[in-house]
Structure 1
Amino acid sequence: MNMDKIYAEQLANEYAPKDASKVVALRKLDKRAKLPATIFTYTFGIISALITGIGMCLSMNVIGGGSSLMSVLGIVVGIIGFVMMGLNYPV
């Protein structure tokens, strides 16, 4: 009989509405406030890494036909990508 009562109380506690504390509410608010910045940071980082990769491919003559103009363009594009990666940290 006592085990039935304990089991019933456990079930009732599991499905009863829980009161959220102020700490939990502040954590949710903090996470929601930081979400746009996190999304921007990851997106900007991925884009800058792709730009750097395109510059590296151009400078190593993997794409672009192998001309010296494309190699120079690849170096410039790669440097732009590295600068974007460097700017991602302070932003």
Structure 2
Amino acid sequence: MNDLDKVYAESVAKDYMPKETNKVRQLKKLDERAKLPAFITAMTLGIIGTLIFGTGMCFGLGVFGTGAIFMFIGVLLGIVGAAVCIINYPLYKKLLKKGKEKYAFEILELAKEITGEA
């Protein structure tokens, strides 16, 4: 058996071994758990706001129809889409702060254990 076969066998065996939950992995998971809700909310609102704004632009530029009513609808949708995009970042910061506060104690305690400061 050559070295390449040994490396392959070890990598396959590692996939089937029970995973150890070391402290660094726990710290990464806690950090992810603190930040993920804010990230998902920000991305979702950003996409929705951009789609609303783009639809308003299409109405306003006459892609979906012509006339004053379509332009008025386009302006309204553009304003709504822009407003959603504007409030997105402050909302993200607020949710991120809330998530960090929620998991701060656990993260700090685990970080102290890892660095050896007890």
TM-score when scaled to structure 2?
A: 0.57
SS of the counterpart of 1:89? Answer: helix
Q: Are 1:28 and 2:55 counterparts?
A: no
Counterpart of 2:80 in structure 1: which amino acid?
Answer: I
Structure 1: 5+ residue stretches without partners:
1-6
Looking at both structures, which has the greater relative contact order when contacts are Cα pairs under 8 Å and sequence separation is at least 6? 2
1:17 offset after TM fit, Å?
A: 6.2
Alignment length, in residue pairs?
81
Q: Which has the larger radius of gyration?
A: 1
Counterpart of 1:70 in structure 2: which amino acid?
Answer: F
Give the % identical residues: 44
Sort the Cα spacing of 1:24 and 1:59 in 2 relative to 1 into closer, same or farther, 3 A.
same
Q: Are 1:40 and 2:56 counterparts?
A: no
Find the aligned partners of 1:44 and 1:35 in 2 and give their Cα distance.
14
1:56 offset after TM fit, Å?
A: 0.2
1:19 offset after TM fit, Å?
A: 5.0
1:23 offset after TM fit, Å?
A: 3.0
* 4+ aligned runs moved over 3 Å, structure 1: 14-21
TM-score when scaled to structure 1?
A: 0.72
